[in-house]
Amino acid sequence: KKRTVVLISGRGSNMTALIAAAGDPAYPAEIVGVISDRANAAGLGIAAARGIATKVITRADHASKDAHDAAIEAALVTFGAELVALAGYMRILGGRFVEKWKGRMVNIHPALLPAFKGLDTHARALRAGMRIHGCTVHFVTPDMDDGPIIAQAAVPVMIGDNEDTLAARVLKAEHRLYPLALGLVAEGKARMEGGHTVFAHFVDDADNGT
């Protein structure tokens, strides 16, 4: 099982979905720790209640962005992390940090990338008149919401949707998608190579269809 640390900033519902999935003995990743950059993140209590170690590492407690990143890196080493899953982590990690975790750090974004990078994705999708919307899990690269896509889920935009109803529909999809995508990475079935996601295919020489 791949030792995985989840980074959060708030509610932690995607973190909770990953913890739940990892409760299955057959799941290829285990959640060994949760790090939050906010002391009052609701997800911290949820993780603790499930017996998972938590750590708060705020930007305010560090002199520079580099020092903050270094403290997170040190915590990941202490946790023995092999994979990092960003789950509503609302801070941009520095280039050196991202480089170190290249191919081993994933993020979930509440839109069908490359559309709607950044914030307020649901309001922007509504304003654009989109009839479908969704979420994306991707490898993290230095440019925000720009890394190779691992998996996506689409949901319909319904007549009469507002930001909240659409966000709720996407969030349900996120909770299914993230465990699936992290599982693919943990199993080595999706990996980052040359700036792209390479998927293992399931046909080998012995299985030529005959």
**Is position 37 an interface residue for ligand GAR (rule: CB under 6 A)?**
no
Residue choice 2, 4, 7, 10 for contact with ligand GAR (CB under 6 A): 10
**Is position 171 an interface residue for ligand GAR (rule: CB under 6 A)?**
yes
Is 92 known as a binding-site position?
Answer: yes
- Is 109 in the active site? yes
Stretch that binds ligand GAR, among 7-15, 44-52, 65-73, 198-206 (CB under 6 A): 7-15
**Is position 123 an interface residue for ligand GAR (rule: CB under 6 A)?**
no
Is 90 known as a binding-site position?
Answer: yes
Written as one string, the DSSP assignment of 49-116 is: HTT--EEE--STTSSSHHHHHHHHHHHHHHHT-SEEEESS--SPPPHHHHHHTTTTEEEEESS-TTSS
The residue sitting closest to ligand GAR, measured at its beta carbon, is 88
Least separation in angstroms between CB 26 and ligand GAR: 24
For tokens 């480089």, the residue is 99
CB burial of residue 122 (10 Å; 0-12, 13-18, 19+) = buried
**Is position 13 an interface residue for ligand GAR (rule: CB under 6 A)?**
yes
Contact 170, 122 (CB under 8 A): yes
Is 31 known as a binding-site position?
Answer: no
Find the binding residues for ligand GAR in span 49-88 (CB under 6 A): 87-88
Is 12 known as a binding-site position?
Answer: yes
> At residue 150, what are phi and psi to the nearest 5 degrees?
-100, -45
**How many CB atoms are located within 10 Å of the residue 188 CB?**
10
Residue ranges at the known binding site: 12-14, 65, 90-93, 107
Residue ranges at the known binding site for (6R)-10-formyltetrahydrofolate: 65, 90-93, 107
